[in-house]
Structure 1
């Protein structure tokens, strides 16, 4: 997910969207008033920063518009079967992953049986979400799914020091094929999916679809907003994400 710092021109937002319109907003340039000055900044820096602030406000608004359009999606497809997973505590059905909530987020982790070690990118993101999980689980359920045997998943969880992520093995099920696009010879794809439980019916609500075919020149494909805090932090720096750096499982010399 590394990329250069160039940004493509924004596309028209939400064409054909059914999301309800929000309240009228003041032009971003009218409210782009920095809340503070910092020592030593020049007037040229100040002008450029105000222009950037207006674009940051527009970006925030665009994120809100996209989120509203996502929430307004019509009902998704009914989940075709109650998949049988292996959890850290034994067998569990897909319907059981919802627990006390009616919304479930799943992440398909690239740690299939053919891998000696899990994907570093997936692991970096999951390590960040580990810290947020006590808060996330107040609102929705969250399950990390991989096709390796549950024993391998538990061993790596202990190695990594994860405490809050809930891991499930999908080995022997069609879940990864149905919701991560796994096919013979291409059987280790990552995928975020959101499911709902309404009146006893389990439906797919949303899934990430920004694959290689959606990448812009000089950039890796990624979600929007990007789910990895790592990249969000690096995007705040003058060096940016870079073009060829990726996280590793270990940085021992």
Structure 2
């Protein structure tokens, strides 16, 4: 572990109190952003999306399952994948136990991917999850939200130097780089009112960090995330760590 400033308990308490002021400011700012997020205009979903589920083909409205709110995690698991994205899998580890608590607040949580349903369900069994997982019929649902990319759109990235982490994640999912980065992760939220479904929020990238609980915890450890300079990404599926270390 790298060298660090050493101090007395009194020095720690003084510095901690200064930091606490900033942490409280951040909390208040977070509350304000949450309010503004809820105040975003709702957009009616006019396209008829279809999904393959364990109970047959369903519409987006059907996925609410009697509740008025729906959260969809767009899980990177494309048709050529042999296993779900490692990072998305770590997110699903957080989502799965929270689904029951969201139901208590009138929210249905599901995951959506483009791979065939039987492949998704087999992977869900391997991972020990229980959330509902649907397979999109066609590509429009993920594409319309910006979570599916064409080869032409990706060409500047593909023609450049591919980061080792991307190659590592593609290999871990049993596909090539193009097959891997064609998919994108995301979270979308919906409300249903008077038989109309509205899209209320969409996020991706670091907007997904609330579902990556380990980062919030690592941010409070002495070494933090400690990812800079690492040639191999540390994250693994939860059943792969014994093999990795």
TM-score by length of 1: 0.74
Task: Measure, in 1, the Cα distance between the counterparts of 2:208 and 2:140.
Answer: 27
Q: Report what 1:198 is aligned to.
A: 193
Task: Measure, in 2, the Cα distance between the counterparts of 1:200 and 1:47.
Answer: 56
The runs of 5 or more residues in structure 1 that have no matched partner are 1-39, 212-221
1:226 to 210, 218, 222: 210
Q: Report what 2:76 is aligned to.
A: 110
Q: Report what 1:146 is aligned to.
A: 113
Task: Measure, in 2, the Cα distance between the counterparts of 1:252 and 1:42.
Answer: 38
Higher helix share: 2
Matched residue SS, 1:223: helix
Decide whether the 8 Å contact of 1:191 with 1:208 is kept in 2. Answer: yes
Q: Compared with structure 1, are the counterparts of its residues 200 and 87 closer, same or farther at alpha carbon in structure 2 (3 Å cutoff)?
A: same
Tell which deviates more after alignment, 234-243 or 170-179. Answer: 170-179
Matched residue SS, 2:110: strand
2:225 to 241, 248, 252: 241
How many aligned residue pairs are there? 201
Task: Measure, in 2, the Cα distance between the counterparts of 1:183 and 1:46.
Answer: 50
Q: Report what 1:215 is aligned to.
A: none
Task: Measure, in 1, the Cα distance between the counterparts of 2:9 and 2:211.
Answer: 35
Decide whether the 8 Å contact of 1:148 with 1:171 is kept in 2. Answer: no
The runs of 5 or more residues in structure 2 that have no matched partner are 1-6, 152-180
Structure 1 position 202, deviation (Å): 1.1
1:160 to 102, 111, 127: 127
Note if 1:52 corresponds to 2:42. no
After the TM superposition, list the runs of 4 or more consecutive aligned residues in structure 1 that deviate by more than 2 angstroms. Answer: 183-187, 224-227
TM-score by length of 2: 0.77
Decide whether the 8 Å contact of 1:111 with 1:146 is kept in 2. Answer: yes
Tell which deviates more after alignment, 174-183 or 146-155. Answer: 174-183
- Per-residue CA distance 1:184-237 (angstroms, 9 max, x = gap): 22531111000111222111101015x5xxxxxxxxxx1276321110111110
Q: Compared with structure 1, are the counterparts of its residues 102 and 74 closer, same or farther at alpha carbon in structure 2 (3 Å cutoff)?
A: same
Decide whether the 8 Å contact of 1:146 with 1:171 is kept in 2. Answer: no
Structure 1 position 74, deviation (Å): 2.1
Note if 1:98 corresponds to 2:64. yes
1:63 to 3, 14, 30: 30
Matched residue SS, 2:241: coil
Decide whether the 8 Å contact of 2:74 with 2:147 is kept in 1. Answer: no
Task: Measure, in 2, the Cα distance between the counterparts of 1:200 and 1:248.
Answer: 42
Task: Measure, in 2, the Cα distance between the counterparts of 1:45 and 1:224.
Answer: 32
Note if 1:252 corresponds to 2:218. no
Cα RMSD of the aligned pairs, angstroms, is: 1.8
2:183 to 172, 182, 188: 188
